[in-house]
Amino acid sequence: MDYEFPDGLKYATTHEWIRIENSIATVGITDYAQHQFGDIVFVELPEVGMVFEKGSNAAEIESVKAVGDLIMPLSGEIIGVNQNLAGTPELVNSSPFVDGWMIKLAFSHASEIDELLSVDKYKQIIQNEEH
Amino acid sequence: MISNIQLIFDKENEGNQQNFVPKMDIDQTELDEILQASLLRKDLPIPNIPEINIVRHFIRLSNKNYGVDTGIYPLGSCTMKYNPKVNETIVKLPGFTRIHPLQEENQGCLGLLYHISKQLGEITGMDGFTLQPAAGAHGELVGLLIIKKYFESKGIKKQKIIVPDSAHGTNPASAKMAGFSIIELISNEFGEIPLDQLEFAMQDGDVAGIMLTNPNTLGVFDRQIKEITRIVHENGGLCYYDGANLNPMLGICRPRDMGFDIVHLNLHKTFSTPHGGGGPGSGPIGVVKELIPFLPIPCLISTENGIVCREIDNKSIGRIKAFWGNFGVIVRAYAYILALGSEGLKKVGQIAVLNANYLRILLQQKYILPYNRICQHEFVLSDQGIPNDITTEDIAKRILDYGIYAPTIYFPLIVPGALMIEPTETESKQSLDYFIEVMNKIYEETKQNPELLKNAPQNMPVKRLDAVLAARKPILHD
Amino acid sequence: MDFIPHNDKTIAEMLDVIGVKSLQELFQDIPKDLIIEKLNLPSGLSEPDLLKQFEKITQKNKVYSSSFLGGGCYNHYIPSLVDFVTSRSEFYTSYTPYQAEASQGYLQAIYEYQTIISRLTQMDVANASMYDGSTALAEAAIMSTIITRKDTIILFKGIHPEYEEVVKTYCWGQNINIVYASEDNLIEKLNGNVAALLFQSPNFFGDIEDISKFAKNIREIAPNCLIIQAMTDPTCLGILNPPGLTDIDIFVAEGQSFGLGLSFGGPGLGIFTAKQKYLRKMPGRLIGKTTEINGEKTGFILTLQAREQHIRREKASSNICTNQALCALATLTYLLALGRTGLKEVATQNIQKAHYVKKELSKIPGYEILNKKPTYNEFLVKCPNIDSLINLCKQRDLQPPLKISSYYPEMKDIALVCVTEMNSKNSIDTFLEIARIVSNNKTEGE
C-alpha cells in the first residue's frame, strides 16, 4: 500500500513522526499508523507542563477496535497539545501530518535527535511489518 | 420485521399512575418534621405510563431480539445451550425468592450451596469451592487473588502470570487487577503451548503461575497438558484453569487430573443458566486442598447443627461480593446437575464434541480452517481465501439475514478474520444442517453477489450501524 | 433427563460423516489416563421428581408473612409486569448484544435503563450496570485512583460492612491504601494523596448523611479527591435530593430494591453513575445511540469498547465483561411500572412507616432510638432484650430486625429495624405489641 511521507520529518520505530523547529519538536502518528488504527475515535492528550522521558507513553489513541499509545520520541516537557482533537479526533485520519498533530514538546536532550530514523529507514520498518 | 420503536420516554406514553403500592394505612407526620427541606428532591423526571403501553413496548422490543429460544446461536466460547424451562419454575419458588440473605432459617439455601459445591468438586476434581463470584471474570479475579495471597503467606513475592496469546481477554485484565504483570506465550501451529518457551518463561523466578483454557480457544485439547502443569509446578508456580471451555470435558476428564490447582466455572455456559443478555452469571472457583484456606468468605461447612459458615481464616483473601453470590443463578445450575445426573453430564460432553466436529467436517469443504485437527467444543474458520475483499464481518452480517445468529468474530486474535463456531450439544442435526446450508449459500454469494454481503444485513430492523460515530460522539441516554 | 435432541441413529450418522467409529474416538487428543469412567454423581431426575426435590429444599427455608429485616436487602413490592417482561425468552436466552442488528430490542432496553437511571440520580452518565452494589463501590474506588493517580482512599463510617470488606479486598489486589474516617476526624485524614472519599447515604445504620458540609474542606485540602456515594436502597430517591445535584463525582447503588426480590441476596444490580468528565475512565459496558452507516434510521450499539478488557487486555482498568443485563431490564420495568407517582409514593410510605415505628418504639420504656440524623426506612434501636424480641417476632410470623452485633460485636442489644411499604398497619401493630411485651417482661424481671 502507498503511504504519505512528507519532507523534512524524522521518525520513530513506534510510528511517530517528529518535526524539529528550533528547540521545539511537534509530534504525531504517521499515515501508516493511522491506517493500522482505522477510524480514530478518541485521543487522550497529556497536560501542558508534564515532563516525560523518551519512550514513555504520552498520549492514548483509541479506534473502535484498538487502543494504542503515542510514545515520546524525545525526552522533554509538553508545551502544547492539539486541542482540536478533543472534538474532531478524525483529523488524525484525514491529516496525520498537519491538522492531526498531537503534542509539541521542548526537548531536553538534543543528542536524542540523532537516534531518530530517516524517512528511508522508517520505510524499511514498514516494509518489514507488512510482510 | 418491525421498523424503529419509539423510546418509552416519548411524551405520547404519558398517562395515568399505576397501582403498585399498598394503600397507606398509618397516620402520617408532616415531612418537614422528619427531614429538612434541603434534603428533598424537587423534580422526578420519570414518566407515568399506562401498564398496557409498557407491555406493548417490551413485546415490540422482544420481537427485535434473538435468543437461544429463537434459533441456533453458534457463538464460540459462549456455550449458548438450551436453558431448561423447569429451572425457571424452580427459581421462582417463594421458598427462594422470599428468603432474605441475613435471615436465620436458611438451611434450604445453605444446604443447596453446600451440595452444589460438592457436585462441582466431583465434576472438576477440586477439593473446595466458593460460589461467591458473580461472573467468569469475577471468578478469575478471585482465583488470581488466591494465587497472590498464597505466595504472600509463604513470604515469596511473585509478580508475573503467564497467559498464552490465544487466551480470553479477561485473563490478562484479571491478572492485572490482582496486581500481576503478564508474560504472553505464543502458541504453536496447533494452538498448543510450546514446552520450550514455557520452560524458558518459568526460569524467570518471578512467575506465580499460568492461566490456561483447555480445550483452548481454537477448540483444541492441548495434548501435552500434563507436561505443561508439571513444568509450572516444578518451577514453583500454580496452574489456573479458565473453565469457559469446560462443556466438552463434562464427564470425560477433569481439570484437577490435568494438573490444575484452581479452576473457574461459568454456570451460565456449562450449566445451562440463561445468559440473560449478558448477565447475571456466576463464576464459582474450585481449588485444591492446599488452597482452601485462601478462599473468600463466607465459606460453608457441614456440622451437627447443619450447614454453617466456617470461622474466618486469616489466610482468606476476604470478601469479594456482598451476601451469597448470585444465588438465583446457582439454583438453576443445581437443578441442571440434578436433572442430568452422571450419565446426562457425560452425554453433554460427548454430544457437544460430536456436533462441533460434524460442523467442522462439513464447513471446511468450502471455508479455510487454519488449525485443522479434531476439535472439542468449537473450531475456528478464517476469512482468508474468500474472494472480492469479503471480510468476516460481512459474512457474520449476512448470516443474520438468514434468521440465525452469527458466530463469534475476530477472536481468537491468532486467527486472521476468525469465525469461531460452537454449536453446543442441544442443537439438533436439522438445525446444524440448516446452518451448514446457510454457510454454503453465503459462500456462493461471496463469489457471485459480493454486494449482498457488503450491504448485509438487509432483513434486520436496522442496517449496519455506525460504531465510529457512536464512539466519537457518545449519546448514552435521552 | 437430558436436553439432547439426537437419537442413536442420528448419532451414528453423524459419526459416519466425521469419519470416526465411536464417540470415544472424538477424544483421541486426550491422554488415556486422563479419561474418567464416570462421575460419581446420582442418576438424573425426571421433571416431576426434580420439582419434588426442590419443594423439600424450600421447606427448609422459612417464608415470613411480614419482615422488619433490611441491612442491604429490602422487601419491596414487585409488579407482576416485571416478571412478565424478564420472562420473555427473546431477552433472557440471548447473549451480550455483539451483533447489534439482531439485538436492537435489548440494546434499546438497556439504553432506556441508562436513561432512567441518569434521570433518577441526575448524574451525567450511567453505565449498563455492574454485578452488585458492593462490587460497584469497589470498582469506583479503583476508578478514582486511576483518574487521580493517587493511591489512598478514605472509607467514611457507616458503609455497609460487607461492602467495606469487598472494597478492602479489591484495593489489596492493587496496593491501594485504605484509611478509615468518621465525622470527627475526617478533616485530619484528608491530604493530597487521597484519591477518593467513599461514604454511604442513607448509611448502614439508617442515617441520611449530608456530605455537603464537608465538600468545601475536601476541595481545599485534597483538591483531586473524588467524592463517591454508595446507597443500598435507592427507592429513597423517590423523595430525596438526587446525588447529581450535590457534590458527588461517582454514585453507585444496589438496585435490588427495584424489582429483583430478596432471592437470598443475589443476583443484584450494581448501579454505576459518574460525572461526564470521567466517562472514559468508567468500567463496564455502555450502550450508545447512533445511526446506520448507509441509512437514516437510528439504532443502538455497544460503544466506547476500547475501554474494555477484550480490546485493552492487560491495560484495561477493569476486567468486567458482563453487566447484569436481565436485572437492569427488571429495574427499568420496575421504575416504569411505578412511574413518578408510584416511586414518590413508595418512598413516602417507607419514610412515614419507619418514622411511625420509630416514634412509637421510643415511647416504650427501655427502647432508645440511636440515630441523631434523619433516617429513611431503617434505624437503630437499643432494646431491653433483643433475643426475646427476636424470638417473639418469629413466633408471630414476623421476620425480626437485624441484630447488629452480628456485624459489630461491641454493639450489644441493638436492632437495625427496617420498615417498608410492605409492612401493613397490622404487622406494625404486632411488632409494637411484641416490643411492649419485651419491655414489660424486663421491667417485671427487675
Is the per-residue pLDDT at A131 higher than 70? no
Which CATH number does B345-454 carry?
Answer: 3.90.1150.10
Residues C294 and C361 in one domain: no
Q: pLDDT (tens digit, 9 = 90+) per residue, A29-63?
A: 999 999 999 999 999 999 999 999 999 999 999 99
- Chain B residues 183-212 with CB within 8 Å of chain C: none
Residues C279 and C373 in one domain: no
The Cα of C282 is separated from the nearest Cα of chain A by a number of Å equal to 14
- Chain B residues 449-478 with CB within 8 Å of chain A: 467-468, 471-472
Provide ipTM, 2 decimals. Answer: 0.97
Q: Residue C305: which domain range? A: 80-334
A-chain residues near B410 (CB < 8 A): 65
Residues C237 and C386 in one domain: no
Between the CA atoms of B77, B81, B85 and B88, what dihedral angle is there, to the nearest 10 degrees? Answer: -10
A-chain residues near B467 (CB < 8 A): 64
B427-436: average pLDDT: 98
Is the per-residue pLDDT at B229 higher than 80? yes
C379's CB contacts (< 8 A; 6+ apart) are C205, C206, C354, C358, C369, C370, C371, C416, C417
Cell of C302: 455497544
Residues C304 and C360 in one domain: no
- Give the separation between CA B435 and CA B397, rounded to whole angstroms: 14
Is the per-residue pLDDT at C133 higher than 50? yes
Is the per-residue pLDDT at B2 higher than 50? no
Where does a domain end: C273, C305, C334? C334
E-strand ranges in B247-354 read: 262-265, 285-287, 300-303, 306-309
Give me the residue label for grid cell 407526620: B29
Residues C298 and C366 in one domain: no
Residue of C50, C85, C292 lying closest to B462 (CB–CB): C292
Q: Is residue C52 part of a domain?
A: no
Q: Is residue C324 part of a domain?
A: yes
Q: C311 vs A44: CB contact, 8 Å cut-off?
A: no
Give the residue among C68, C259, C75, C80 at the shortest CA–CA distance from B19: C80
- CATH code for position C240: 3.40.640.10
Residues C171 and C319 in one domain: yes
Strand partners, A78: A105
Q: Is residue C97 part of a domain?
A: yes
E-strand ranges in C108-204 read: 125-126, 152-156, 177-181, 194-200
Residues C90 and C227 in one domain: yes
Sign, CA dihedral C365-C367-C368-C369, equals: negative
- The number of C-beta contacts closer than 8 angstroms across A and B is 13
The Cα of C303 is separated from the nearest Cα of chain A by a number of Å equal to 8
Q: Is residue C310 part of a domain?
A: yes
Where does a domain end: C274, C301, C334? C334
pLDDT band at C211, cuts 50/70/90? confident
B387 touches chain C (CB under 8 A): no
Q: Is residue C191 part of a domain?
A: yes
Residue of C45, C111, C166 lying closest to B338 (CB–CB): C45
Q: B472 vs A42: CB contact, 8 Å cut-off?
A: yes
B34 backbone dihedrals φ, ψ, rounded to 5°: -90, -40
C280 touches chain A (CB under 8 A): yes
Which H or E run contains B410? Answer: none
* Minimum mean pLDDT range among C152-156, C278-282, C353-357: C278-282
Cell of C48: 416431576
- The number of C-beta contacts closer than 8 angstroms across B and C is 657
Q: C29 vs B373: CB contact, 8 Å cut-off?
A: yes
Q: Is residue C13 part of a domain?
A: no
Give the residue among B198, B163, B215 at the shortest CA–CA distance from B373: B215
Q: pLDDT (tens digit, 9 = 90+) per residue, B395-422?
A: 999 999 999 999 999 988 889 999 999 9
The per-residue pLDDT for C307 is 79
Residue of B nearest to C43 (CA): B341
- Give the separation between CA B115 and CA B129, rounded to whole angstroms: 11
Whether B64 and C27 have beta carbons less than 8 Å apart is answered as no
The per-residue pLDDT for C201 is 97
Q: How many CB atoms lie within 10 A of CB A45?
A: 20
Structural domains of chain C, count: 2
Q: pLDDT (tens digit, 9 = 90+) per residue, C166-185?
A: 999 999 999 999 999 999 99
* Minimum mean pLDDT range among A116-130, B363-377, B454-468, C27-41: A116-130
DSSP annotation of A78 reads: E
- Give the separation between CA C405 and CA C411, rounded to whole angstroms: 5
Is the per-residue pLDDT at B183 higher than 60? yes
Q: A39 vs B410: CB contact, 8 Å cut-off?
A: no
The Cα of C304 is separated from the nearest Cα of chain A by a number of Å equal to 7
Residues C323 and C348 in one domain: no
B-chain residues near C359 (CB < 8 A): 29
Whether C350 and C376 have beta carbons less than 8 Å apart is answered as yes
> What residue ranges define each of the domains in chain A, with the CATH number in brackets?
10-109 (2.40.50.100)
- Give the separation between CA B333 and CA C202, rounded to whole angstroms: 35
Which CATH number does B85-339 carry?
Answer: 3.40.640.10
Residue of C nearest to B15 (CA): C339
Residues C87 and C184 in one domain: yes
pTM of the model: 0.96
The per-residue pLDDT for B188 is 87
Residue type, B178: A
Neighbours of chain A (3+ CB pairs under 8 A): B, C
The Cα of A50 is separated from the nearest Cα of chain C by a number of Å equal to 14
Kindly report the average pLDDT of chain C as a whole number: 95
B31 touches chain C (CB under 8 A): yes
Give the residue among B400, B395, B449 at the shortest CA–CA distance from B417: B395
The per-residue pLDDT for B392 is 96
B-chain residues near C132 (CB < 8 A): 134, 321-322
Sign, CA dihedral A75-A78-A80-A82, equals: positive
* Minimum mean pLDDT range among B17-31, B233-247, B291-305: B17-31
pLDDT band at B10, cuts 50/70/90? confident
When scoring A34, A39, A44 by the number of chain B Cβ atoms within 10 A, the one with the most, hence best to mutate, is A39
Q: Is residue C414 part of a domain?
A: yes
- Give the separation between CA A17 and CA C13, rounded to whole angstroms: 61
Q: A44 vs C306: CB contact, 8 Å cut-off?
A: no
- CATH code for position C386: 3.90.1150.10
- Give the separation between CA B407 and CA B395, rounded to whole angstroms: 10
Residues C256 and C373 in one domain: no
Q: pLDDT (tens digit, 9 = 90+) per residue, C313-345?
A: 777 778 888 889 999 999 999 999 999 999 999
Residues C315 and C380 in one domain: no
Question: With left for phi above 0 and alpha for psi between -120 and 50, is residue C7 left, alpha or beta?
Answer: beta
pLDDT band at C352, cuts 50/70/90? very high
Q: B471 vs A65: CB contact, 8 Å cut-off?
A: no
Is the per-residue pLDDT at A130 higher than 90? no
* Prior bond of B74 cis (ω within 30°): no
Residue of C nearest to A41 (CA): C304
Residues C301 and C433 in one domain: no
C306 touches chain A (CB under 8 A): yes
- Give the separation between CA C136 and CA C204, rounded to whole angstroms: 16
A62 touches chain C (CB under 8 A): yes
Where does a domain end: C334, C358, C386? C334
Please list the alpha-helical segments (H only) found in A1-131.
Answer: 31-37, 84-87, 91-94, 119-130
